[in-house]
Amino acid sequence: MKVIQHSPEKLRTALVSNSKTIAKLYSKYTEEERRLLEEGFHPGTPGSLFKPITVHSDSDWIPAHPEEPQDFETFYKDPYRRTPDADHSTIYLQTIGSFGEVGVQTDQYVEWLRDYCQAFFYGLSVNLLPAVTVAETGCSFRVNSNSHNLQILTGDLLRFLEKRKPKDAFCIVGITMIDLYPKDSWNFVFGQASLSMGMGIFSFARYDDNFYTRSYAGRLKKQIEAKPGAYSVFEGYYTPPITSTLLLRSCKTMTHEIGHMFGIKHCQWMNCIMQGSNHLEESDRRPLDFCPICLHKLHVSVGFQIAERYKALLLWMEEDLSQISRPEGASSCHASLSYPKPTEAFHASKLWLRRCLDLLEKH
Ligand SMILES: [Zn+2]
Ligand SMILES: [Zn+2]
């Protein structure tokens, strides 16, 4: 295991920059906000809010995909990065296929994802487009010859999203519980995006704890021929059970991928949601939120008070408790339609957000 530790000077330059004009952007933060961001100059010191990146093996992202690290200045000067403006300030989520065994569960799950995104990209609106079935996208599909599960073709889905993208969209993100493939010769892909067009499609199928086991329920029992246009195979097809871990993984993937839409590249500074990930174990290791350098990139694109954003995220994580303590007399019919949000897996993040807020609110 190797720890990637940058010097405080290097991290300061990556965050603030040596250029006077760019450093001016940093001086807009309040003293309390700067105190929080500057915690990132010493990742890993006892009690620090941020940790250095640890490389566990050669199959981790950084050794497998050497990339130029992107500091704030490089990000800011990138002529191709996209920024939301008054006419393009909405993030659209498009679900494709089922997200749960029952309709109500599907609706609730995607609502949780939407609300989470809205807190994460604080200041922007996140809207759900009406759900579509696989058939409605008209995409090609196949049965994977190794894992024997259904897969849908990413290119077709991106073309579908392009037609579906509302005029005021900053970006449109398609999400599905069905596995994806980008071309015949590939085994699978977690997702595919067109950053210049603000579009992406991502699957959570492989975040099912059982996906890589023989007992995976998405394996088709009998040999099914995937005839073009014969979408009835998707009716009643297996979807992963909605667990706290699945919710956590989905929230992480979605926000990481939408982060790329702003032009934020993979983070190599410290532990951060924008770290690249080559495998599930590595994605699970990523924290839920941005490091100070990536937070500064989002901040300059959107503009928000850091404490307000953290409060919104914390509220989302604590909302399940308010649901459980619903006042007596609340309609039992309504209660049966409402599933408590499984946020146990967010516990460490909850504590982290509270520590950040304590620091921001200390005068
Ligand atoms: Zn990425
Ligand atoms: Zn980062």
pLDDT tens figures, 161-188: 999 999 999 999 999 999 999 999 999 9
User: Smallest Cα–Cα separation from 316: which of 92, 107, 172, 121?
Assistant: 121
pLDDT digits (tens, 9 = 90+) for 205-225: 998 888 888 888 888 877 777
Ligand found nearest the CA of 260? 1
> Which are the catalytic amino acids?
257
Cα 191 to ligand 1 centroid, rounded to whole Å: 10
User: How far apart, in whole angstroms, are the C-alpha atoms of residue 172 and residue 164?
Assistant: 9
The 10s digit of each residue's pLDDT in 278-318 is: 788 888 889 999 999 999 999 999 999 999 999 999 999 99
What separation in Å is there between the alpha carbon of 307 and the centre of ligand 2?
Answer: 18
* pLDDT tens, residue by residue, 238-252: 888 888 999 999 999
* Residues 211, 219: Cα–Cα separation, whole Å: 9
In the reported structure, the alpha carbon of residue 226 is separated from the centroid of ligand 1 by a whole-number distance in angstroms of 31
Quickly state the pLDDT bin for 91 (edges 50, 70, 90). Answer: very high
26-35, 106-115, 175-184: range with lowest mean pLDDT: 106-115
In the reported structure, the alpha carbon of residue 332 is separated from the centroid of ligand 1 by a whole-number distance in angstroms of 43
Structural domains in the chain, sorted by start = 90-256 (3.40.390.10)
Q: Which ligand is nearest to the CA of 70?
A: 2
Q: Report which bound ligand comes closest to the CA of 272.
A: 2
Q: What are phi and psi of 253, to 5 degrees?
A: -60, -45
Q: How far, in Å, from the CA of 260 to the mean position of ligand 1?
A: 7
